[in-house]
Each structure stands twice: as structure tokens, then as C-alpha cells.
A and B are shown apart, each in its own frame.
Chain A
Amino acid sequence: MIEALVNKKLIGSNGSFQLAVELKIAEGEFVALFGPSGVGKTTLLRCLAGLEQADQANIRFNGTIWVDTALRINVEPQLRRVGYMFQDYALFPNMTVRGNVEFALRKGGNKQRINELVELMDLGELQHQKPETLSGGQKQRVALARALASEPSLLLLDEPFSALDAEIRGRLHHEVLRLQRSLGITTIIVSHNVGEVYKLAKQVFMMEAGHIVQQGSPADVFSAGQTIGKFRFTGEILALEPMDVLYSLTVLVGNQIVKVVAMPDEALSLSVGDAVMLVSKAFNPMILKLE
């Protein structure tokens, strides 16, 4: 169980603002801090890890005080036993893959665990290589293995998947989820990807300008109670061509190019480059399971 109250003045791109957050996370839960960049998500994570000092804070982990600014208590990051995955992975360039994971072992730690983690994260072939020779997805797996090797009681993931392509990201989501469930570690992920949060987290704290503006299950937070029977996609018009009495519209939605038909009165107000929203009935679409 984490109970945290954190206040800190932050400097953002539009001047300074106050990070003022109060949150409670039950043991073994997987939660997400969600929101645009620059709202204080990473700072909050760093305060929990002890890498940054808040102006005023009270953080308790399973009843132990980690930070109490009023009592001038601040437990060093070394003693908090958290696992932290950094945005840039922060692998030690001088050590091999295995060396990085072994470095995380604490005194009297279980050496067998290193082998298990190397096996589990599919790093066997890579274990004697240096980090600089690895791809993004591989580095990511090393970073996760290292974070888990220290047998943390709290796992903090700072946008760990943002630099990866969709396919690898999907695979790693799966692995993280499996590991988190089997080890039962309380986990906090920072993300600005709705799909990711939906997939991984049981609970979301939505943040804006230093405050938690909404919290609850991803379904509750993202649909905000208004489930609709329609698909909405936003996209950009790439081409607009007359076609008999109608218009053919080519729209870029995400990475997909979609061709749709527009009525003449709709087409009149549109031009190439416009941002548009496509709304369509969601009733009974084809559903194909992905592996």
C-alpha cells in the first residue's frame, strides 16, 4: 500500500506550476499515471523513488515512512527497494547484458534469480554483449530484467515503451503484465498512450498541470461514463476528388490511409490538409482476433 502526498513547484514550458498530488495505491496493483507531457508525471515517479525531493511531501510505503518533510525524514533511494525503468533505459555501457542484471543483485541476493530473469526475458543469446549493440526492444528487456533483479517491492516504469514500434511494444506489454501478475509487485507506469494504459493498468490517475483530475478504471476514465455506439477517428485529408455526383476523400488515420465517400455539400467545406473527424456506426463490425 502506498500513500503519497506530494507538493512541488515545477517549471514547465508555460511558466511555473504546482505539482499537488495525493494518491493511494493498494498492494499488488498495476496503476498508470496518464496525461500529456510536462504535467509532472515523471517528477512524481522520481519523488516516489527518492531521486527528487519534494517541497512538501508525505510518502508511506506499507506503513513505513519514506518521506515526511515535516519530520525531516527522507529515506535514501538506496534503501527504498524500488525497481525503476528509465525512459532512456540507463543501462551501464561498461557492463555486459548479464553484468547489468547482476549489478542489481543485493548482498545475499539470490544468484539463481539472474539466470531465471535472463531466461525469462529471452536474453540468453545476448547476455555477453554490451548494451550499445542492442536494439531498442532488447535494451528495454534488459532494463526490465535489471529492475526486477533487485527484488523490488515497488516497480516504477517511466514511459518505458514510448520509443518502440507497435509490434515490439505489444509483445512487451504482454510480458510486463505476465511478470507483474506472477510476482504481484505493485507497479506504477507513466504513459501518455491510451491503448497502453487500457491494456496494462487496473487503475488510472489522469493528470493535468500537476493535479490528478480523474481517477478510476481505464474504462471509466477514458469513456467518462458515456459509452457510445460509434467509432470516432481523427485524421488528415490527403486528397479530395469529385466522383460522379459524390466526392472521394482520402484520409490519413493514424498510420492507415482510408478512402471514404463524401456528399457534395460536405465536400464543399473541406480541403486537402484539413483535420477531420470521421464518425461511423459501431454496430456489429467484423471482429478479427489478433495474435
Chain B
Amino acid sequence: MTYDIQPLWLTFKLASVTTAILFTIAVPFAWWLAKTQIRFKPVVETLVSMPLVLPPSVLGFYLLLAFSPEHWFGKWLDKELGIRLAFSFEGLVIASVIFSFPFIVHPVQAAFQNLPKSLTDAAKILGKSNLQIFFRVLLPNIKPALISGTVLAFAHTVGEFGVVMMIGGNLPNETRVASIAIYDEVEALHYATANFYSGVLFLSSFVILMIVYLVNRKAQK
């Protein structure tokens, strides 16, 4: 019996692209959030954390509305840029980035806040620019948080179902990721296939999380 590994491949592609984008935006964002003193900081923090408590279908629903060519945003995207995000891989990526955002922002922000302020002061005194301080002093000293944040965001994207269901649908090679495929196969009573996808996800998630714990244990020593 052969299995279509396309959904698995799509899942890992989605998770990789999402994680790469998240890493580039969420880490600087967490840095900003850690040191900012603006008045509406609690509002920003709440918004970032919303995906933790909202049912994924809520987020998916609103994104579906926004991406729909009927809506002004979707219409603008379609007309000006020729992009249709609903039921597309790109749409999934955007949704996943929003959905997994807190998983990387939280640990990284906490790590930035726990670094002694004197490290930044010392580097400033030594004539280093903010960028040099960020890359050579701050980032290297929050490595465990970076690793766990990144891996959690990756794993969380792999495990996503509700959002994908709402805005991705079930298009083979485009939006039919493993979690959707499992649901689909079970509905069609193809238990063997569902079992195969599930097993792969189970094992890979186990391995990924295990690596995080091992790395963090080593970093703490």
C-alpha cells in the first residue's frame, strides 16, 4: 500500500516557512516589547496573547472574511497586488504566523527582561551600537529561549487544525496539510492512512520536543 506523503510534506513546509518568518519578526518584536514603556503596552501584550485563548476557528473565521475578495482588504489585495489569500498556501502561512506568534514572543520577551540591564549599559559604555549590542550581547545570552521559542512555534504550526480548516480548506498540494488529511481520511474510513499520518506527526513531535529539553538541559549546565 502506498501513501500520499504530500500532506506531510506540506505540513513541514508550512511549519518551516512560518517559523522562519516568525523568527525574523517575533524576536525583534519581543525585544521591543521587553524594553518599551509605552502606555498601551498591556493592549499590545493582550493582542499578542489572544491566539493562546481564542478558538482557532475564531481567528480563522476573521481571516477568512478579511482575505475574501468580497471584503475591502481581500479586494484590495486581489486588485492591486493580484494575491488571493483565502484557500492558498500563502494565506495559511500568514494565519500560522499570527497564530503561533505568542509561542515565540513570550519566552523570548521573558528572557530579554531577565537579562541584567547592566549588560546593555556596559556594552554602550564600550562604544557599541544598538545593533551590535543586540546581536553580540543580547541574542547570544538568551539562546535557550530562542531555541525553545522557535521549536515551540514550529511544533505548534505542525499541530494546527482549526485555522487551516477555516481559511485553507482541503486543496491537495496547496492547503491539505497532515492534520486536515487525517480528519479527511477518518471521515472516509481510511483508518490505515490516518494512522500513518498520525504516527509520523506523533513521532516527529516527540523528537522535536525532546531535542528542546536536551538542548536546554545542556545550556543550563
Interface residues of chain A, those whose CB is within 8 Å of chain B, are 49-51, 76-84, 86-88, 90, 92-94, 103-104, 106, 146, 150
Can you report 26 residue pairs joining A to B where beta carbons are below 8 Å apart?
Answer: A49-B125, A50-B124, A51-B121, A77-B121, A78-B124, A80-B125, A84-B121, A84-B122, A84-B125, A86-B118, A86-B121, A87-B118, A88-B118, A90-B116, A90-B121, A92-B122, A92-B137, A92-B141, A94-B143, A103-B123, A103-B126, A103-B128, A106-B126, A146-B122, A150-B126, A150-B127
Does B119 count as interface, using CB distance less than 8 angstroms?
yes
C-alpha gap A93/B219 in the complex (Å): 12
Does B37 count as interface, using CB distance less than 8 angstroms?
no
CB neighbours of A103 from chain B (8 A): 123, 126, 128, 136
CB neighbours of A93 from chain B (8 A): 141
Q: What distance in Å separates the Cβ of A154 from its nearest Cβ neighbour in chain B?
A: 11
User: A91's closest neighbor in chain B, by CB?
Assistant: B122
User: B127's closest neighbor in chain A, by CB?
Assistant: A78
User: B130's closest neighbor in chain A, by CB?
Assistant: A78
User: A77's closest neighbor in chain B, by CB?
Assistant: B124
Does B129 count as interface, using CB distance less than 8 angstroms?
yes
Annotate B91-132 by CB proximity to A: 1 below 8 A, 0 otherwise: 000000000000000000000000010110111111111000
Q: What distance in Å separates the Cβ of A21 from its nearest Cβ neighbour in chain B?
A: 21
| B141 adjacent to A94 (CB under 8 Å) | yes
Does B42 count as interface, using CB distance less than 8 angstroms?
no
Q: What distance in Å separates the Cβ of B185 from its nearest Cβ neighbour in chain A?
A: 48
Q: What distance in Å separates the Cβ of A40 from its nearest Cβ neighbour in chain B?
A: 18
| B119 adjacent to A90 (CB under 8 Å) | yes
Does B82 count as interface, using CB distance less than 8 angstroms?
no
Q: What distance in Å separates the Cβ of A79 from its nearest Cβ neighbour in chain B?
A: 7
| B125 adjacent to A94 (CB under 8 Å) | no
Q: A82-B125, A86-B122, A104-B126 given; name 20 further pairs at CB < 8 Å.
A: A49-B125, A50-B124, A76-B124, A77-B124, A78-B124, A81-B127, A84-B121, A87-B118, A88-B118, A90-B122, A92-B122, A92-B123, A92-B137, A94-B137, A94-B140, A103-B123, A103-B128, A106-B127, A146-B126, A150-B127
CB neighbours of A150 from chain B (8 A): 125-127
The interface centre, meaning the residue of A50, A79, A83, A90 with most chain B CB atoms within 10 A of its CB, is: A90
CB neighbours of A146 from chain B (8 A): 122, 126
Q: What distance in Å separates the Cβ of A89 from its nearest Cβ neighbour in chain B?
A: 8
Q: What distance in Å separates the Cβ of A92 from its nearest Cβ neighbour in chain B?
A: 6
CB neighbours of B118 from chain A (8 A): 86-88, 90
CB neighbours of B116 from chain A (8 A): 88, 90
| A92 adjacent to B127 (CB under 8 Å) | no
The 10 closest A-B pairs by CB, nearest first: A90-B118, A94-B140, A90-B122, A77-B124, A84-B125, A78-B127, A86-B118, A104-B126, A51-B121, A94-B141
Q: What distance in Å separates the Cβ of B127 from its nearest Cβ neighbour in chain A?
A: 5
CB neighbours of A80 from chain B (8 A): 125
C-alpha gap A148/B71 in the complex (Å): 63
Q: What distance in Å separates the Cβ of A141 from its nearest Cβ neighbour in chain B?
A: 16
C-alpha gap A228/B119 in the complex (Å): 46
C-alpha gap A201/B143 in the complex (Å): 42
CB neighbours of A83 from chain B (8 A): 125
